[in-house]
Chain A
């Protein structure tokens, strides 16, 4: 029974890791890496409120993220310089509030993730959503990438780049909400960023960059879950440490 549960976890982890890695590949190039991180902090008050009203924490996280994403999108659209300080202030505030209002027994789990209690329906939903994220990201990938390289070029082709960016941020919000279960709100951002940062070290073209981001996402998530089970520690830190290990190796490889 425990083994079935573990197997489900590994599979879900692989899908969430793949989707996170793919989405992260754009975020790293967008120079929005910190936004991904900050966004994940917003999930906490959402989880807290959801726990209070006895609804699904993932749903609560998603609603909170959705609100934050509208804010990020609006700033990205309207100002030329990214308002980093403002983003930092807003997101750390939400983290502080979240810590205060999250019921204490659930706090550690919300912050660092807990994978021991995964239900089959939850797992199936997580897999389906991950697949949808990968598919949608693939569909918008060219326009999104061109927007990263040059807003002017996308405009000259009449690409609705603001809408594309909004869809992208929504996908990021969704993966963060899903990732919270595995790695917790504090570290989800890293699940999105680290695989892509590692892949960037090793890629000469987009194709290998995308594939490596996805593969590193899978390896970090699956490897982290394994290690967490092996050492009886929370999964979040182990997933991130697995990711960091890949990053260090990729960096050394780049230097040589």
Chain B
């Protein structure tokens, strides 16, 4: 039996007197990839913020003692002219050696010529990869990955997900991710939590990603992309 790294029970989050999330319970076990899916405004990012301790909540969030969390935000709100190089960005997290920084950059497909580049001038996909390597430096136990709303592909052949998947193989990472793409979830996730204010479904993708659940989650018109691809216009 795999060790439980995170246990969420009856989570409820209120912001400005509005209930954003309620009745959410799930567990994250070592080496799992748990995907949180749901429509816009379902409270996915807010749930992440609660897991990080950024917003107040009711219910319980229990992280395994001493668990190290790597967090990959959707984006960074920074100016182009922020005087911060990629290398310096890593040193803000801790005193990592150049070799360690080069290693995580290598994981996401960068050479060392990126080290002196200003963070602010990176493209969306480049920044995403830097954020992932920033998240995994120092060997965290869990990676929290908040998928950017617009799909950011890192190259023609490789998606962020195949990258995360290969990282998981390489360094043994437990991943908790927010995703908008069902096809990808069915391919990579071991567990799925469907969230629309409340938990609509929870379980392995095979049993969870049914059109019944998805109708309930997204409303009537969303068919399961993977199966009905050609029938939809």
Contact = CB atoms under 8 A, between A and B. Distances in A.
A156 B118 CA distance: 23
Interface string B84-107: 110011011100000000000000
B118 A204 contact: yes
A207 B71 contact: no
B83 A204 contact: yes
B85 A150 contact: no
Interface string B58-100: 0000000000011101001110011111001101110000000
B206 interface: no
Interface of A: 29, 142, 145-146, 149-153, 155-157, 199-200, 203-209
B84 A155 contact: no
Contact of B83 (A151, A152, A155, A208): A208
B201 to A, nearest CB: 27
B209 interface: no
Contacts of A145: 84, 92
A199 B52 CA distance: 34
B71 A206 contact: no
Contacts of B84: 145, 149, 205-206
B13 to A, nearest CB: 15
Counting chain A CB atoms within 10 Å of each CB, which of B54, B73, B78, B83 scores highest?
B83
A149 B76 contact: yes
B6 to A, nearest CB: 13
A205 B92 contact: no
Interface of B: 49, 52-54, 69-71, 73, 76-78, 81-85, 88-89, 91-93, 116, 118, 134, 144
A238 B148 CA distance: 49
A150 B54 contact: no
Given A142-B92, A205-B88, A206-B88, A152 B54 contact: yes
A132 B213 CA distance: 61
Contacts of A142: 91-92
Contact of B69 (A156, A200, A204): A156
A29 B54 contact: no
B149 to A, nearest CB: 16
A146 B71 CA distance: 13
Nearest to B89: A149
Contacts of B52: 152, 155-156
A200 B54 contact: no
A156 B92 contact: no
A210 B131 CA distance: 24
B93 A157 contact: yes
A72 B88 CA distance: 29
Given A150-B76, A155-B53, A156-B69, A206 B93 contact: no
B85 A204 contact: yes
B54 to A, nearest CB: 5
Given A142-B91, A200-B81, A150 B73 contact: yes
